[in-house]
Structure 1
Amino acid sequence: MFNNIARKYDFLNHFLSMGIDKLWRKKAVNLLKPLQPKIVLDIATGTGDFALANLKLNPDKVIGIDISTEMLAVGREKIAKKNLQDKIELFEGDSENIQFETNSFDAITVAFGVRNFENLEKGLKEMNRVVRPGGKVVVLEFSKPRKFPVKQFYNFYFFRILPLWGRMVSKDASAYTYLPESVNAFPDGEDFLKIYEECGFTDTKQIKLSFGIASIYMGTKSKQ
């Protein structure tokens, strides 16, 4: 599915979110500035938007992994156009079976990817394994607003308007029907924080964005 929509993915992301997704990524990256990470892993990197945003941290290297070969191809083209191949490398990789050694990264980011994990706990445990002790993981993901009238507007847009426009532009009937369904099934808020902690993270917190439409989840790997 993601291979099918790869060439339209960036346009649809920015268009359907009215550009707010860029601001969300910027805020998520800013939360990592005090850590000053030098080696960053971006999981479910897709076309590399979050990997590129991570350059604001002035790292030595950003590595992105994704299972979609076509999304990675688009990402590599973007990186090459910016002549940033020395800073960012993208690899095909499984988020639930990460190919890197334990304690390899200072920080990990993932945007709109964890809800696609086949096994959420396994993916989070893999993140905990490959980040170094004291390192941080930042998860940016859609969540479900619960207050009137945002909840009602959100549900109407997400389940009625977004699938229609997404299908028209991407020519893929399933992709933008899958999006709201996957968000609806995702354990957001306190439910996610509980799973986060069960997978080995400490100092966890949720930061709600845009009236709860999305959330940033922070977690730290214990130094012990």
Structure 2
Amino acid sequence: MNERSIFAGIMAKFSHDDIVPFEGTEKTKKEQVASMFDQIAFRYDFLNRFLSIGIDVYWRKVAIKKIADIQPQRILDVATGTGDLAIMTHKYLKPNEIVGIDISEGMLSVGKEKIAKAGLSDIIKLEKGDSEAINFPEGSFDAVTVAFGVRNFENLELGLAEMYRVIRPGGKVMILEFSKPRRVWFKGIYNMYMNIVAPKAGQWLSKNKDAYQYLNQSIKAFPEGETFLHILQSVGFKQTSLKRLSLGICTIYCGTKPAN
């Protein structure tokens, strides 16, 4: 019996699994997320830099260093989007191959153009793929990375279990995700920004206010911190850890698949 069949049918549900970008539609969360990112793909990179004041570049750099110790040569970047993390991972770690998967064809199209322009098409391959049914055999990768993607999973635990399955024994997962600040003095500023500024800026710059309202709602519902580490452990990861960045508005989570 393989790892996929072991996990099938026993996945827990979390409140953020039911947070969707659009109300009043029969489409699944997965279908809505794909549609949402297709709509904002043309401005996605600019919006990331603009709304984070460029600090998202720093977050990715710190996150990539978390897998440097195992010197991964084959990496899977889940929810790769426009390939930002994959491109930066190549810059700092120089692996032999990076495969990026995403459900949004619009995001992948932008990413492929960026990768071709950087002359990395032989090393970084982007393809359409479902994070909850990853189309690779068990133990295919040294490491799996995700940047700001796990909140969008329709079934969080199933997606994490799939990552565990495709990592080789001794390999690592690194997940970079938004979280909520803990310091009281900063919470008011953060909440005003997420409730008012980000949706307004998203509407103005991408003509899509729903995407940035969804961003705020999904962050609020996400099982962050120690709770998320317990979920990683529940699908099999060991040596789990977290590192909060920028007063807690972003967190890096890591875990290792036990060696045989």
TM-score range (shorter-chain normalised) is over 0.9
The alignment status of 1:109 with 2:156, answered yes or no, reads: no
The alignment status of 1:14 with 2:49, answered yes or no, reads: yes
* 1:131 corresponding residue in structure 2: 167
Q: Report the AA paired with residue 78 of structure 1.
A: K
Runs of 4+ off more than 2 Å: none
Q: Report the AA paired with residue 76 of structure 1.
A: K
Residues of 2 paired with 1:182 and 1:134: CA distance? 31
The alignment status of 1:184 with 2:224, answered yes or no, reads: no
Q: Report the AA paired with residue 83 of structure 2.
A: G
Superposition RMSD on alpha carbons, in Å? 0.7
1:40-119 mapped onto 2 (5 Å cutoff) = 40-55=75-90, 56-119=92-155
* 2:257 corresponding residue in structure 1: 221
Residues of 2 paired with 1:32 and 1:189: CA distance? 19
The alignment status of 1:174 with 2:210, answered yes or no, reads: yes
Residues of 1 paired with 2:46 and 2:114: CA distance? 13
Residues of 2 paired with 1:37 and 1:79: CA distance? 20
Deviations 1:63-95 (A, max 9, x none): 000000000000000001111101100010000
Specify the SS of the correspondent of 1:175: helix
Scaled by the length of structure 1, the TM-score of the pair is 0.99
The percentage of aligned residue pairs carrying the same residue is 56
* 1:34 corresponding residue in structure 2: 69
Once the two structures are TM-superposed, the CA of residue 173 in structure 1 deviates from its matched residue by 2.7
Specify the SS of the correspondent of 1:94: coil
Specify the SS of the correspondent of 1:223: coil
The alignment status of 1:2 with 2:46, answered yes or no, reads: no
Once the two structures are TM-superposed, the CA of residue 53 in structure 1 deviates from its matched residue by 1.0
Residues of 2 paired with 1:191 and 1:32: CA distance? 22
The alignment status of 1:163 with 2:199, answered yes or no, reads: yes
* 2:33 corresponding residue in structure 1: none
Q: Any unmatched runs of 5+ in structure 1?
A: none
Once the two structures are TM-superposed, the CA of residue 186 in structure 1 deviates from its matched residue by 0.5
Once the two structures are TM-superposed, the CA of residue 152 in structure 1 deviates from its matched residue by 1.5
Q: Report the AA paired with residue 195 of structure 1.
A: I
* 2:240 corresponding residue in structure 1: 204
Specify the SS of the correspondent of 1:110: strand
Q: Report the AA paired with residue 156 of structure 2.
A: L
**Greater relative contact order, per chain length (Cα 8 Å cut-off, separation 6+):** 2
Structure 1 window deviating more from structure 2 (144-153 vs 177-186): it is: 144-153
Residues of 1 paired with 2:236 and 2:203: CA distance? 39
Once the two structures are TM-superposed, the CA of residue 150 in structure 1 deviates from its matched residue by 1.5
Once the two structures are TM-superposed, the CA of residue 191 in structure 1 deviates from its matched residue by 0.9
Deviations 1:35-74 (A, max 9, x none): 1000000000000000101101110000000000000000
Residues of 2 paired with 1:13 and 1:121: CA distance? 26
Residues of 1 paired with 2:196 and 2:209: CA distance? 13
Specify the SS of the correspondent of 1:98: coil
Residues of 1 paired with 2:187 and 2:237: CA distance? 30
Residues of 2 paired with 1:131 and 1:23: CA distance? 26
- Number of aligned positions between the proteins: 224
Specify the SS of the correspondent of 2:184: coil
Specify the SS of the correspondent of 2:82: coil
